[in-house]
Amino acid sequence: MSPLRSWLVFACGALLLLVFASFAGGALAEPAPNQPRPALTQTPTTIPVTPTPTGVPVAIQNFAYAPASLTVPLNQPVTWTNNDSAPHDVAASGGSWASPTLSQGQQFTRNFDQPGTYDYICSIHPFMRGSVTVVVQIFLPLVQAP
């Protein structure tokens, strides 16, 4: 066997060993099948990939915001509509922004251009609470393995 040929045989053998070792290492890194899987605590949320030109609707009815919490992508406007006969508004919990008082049928739209969680209340009925979470990423629904 020529020196070049025996070197090639050695190199191929070493490469095979490396490939096998990385597979074996990967198998060892897998959790044992009888280990309990961590529970999924996040509920799937559907988020449009691109902001829609009209606001994501939030109804104000029966002295509550519906949905009370909402996740939207950056620069996705949100539109609140007062369906109650009582007047309501939408006011940031920290006081940084607020809608005018909305009579029945009136709407308020706000755009969120910074990620974060925006808690708000109705300043007329402070027990009414809601929040808008603005995200940059797109989350895909989590699927529990069978």
Q: Which residues of this protein are in contact with Cu ion, per CB under 5 A?
A: 88, 122, 124-125
- Cβ proximity to Cu ion, 98 vs 135, nearer residue: 98
Contact by Cβ (8 Å): 138, 34 = no
Which amino acid is present at 76?
Q
Q: Residue 124 or 135: which CB sits closer to Cu ion?
A: 124
**Of the two residues 56 and 88, which places its CB atom closer to Cu ion in the complex?**
88
| Residues ≥6 apart with Cβ < 8 Å to 129 | 65, 68, 119, 120, 121
* Shortest Cβ 88–Cu ion spacing (Å): 3
Minimal distance, residue 26 CB to Cu ion, in Å = 57
Closest approach of Cβ 80 to Cu ion, in Å? Answer: 11
Residue 135 in tokens: 């995200």
**Is the CB of 92 or the CB of 135 nearer to Cu ion?**
92
Shortest separation between residue 107's beta carbon and Cu ion, angstroms: 15
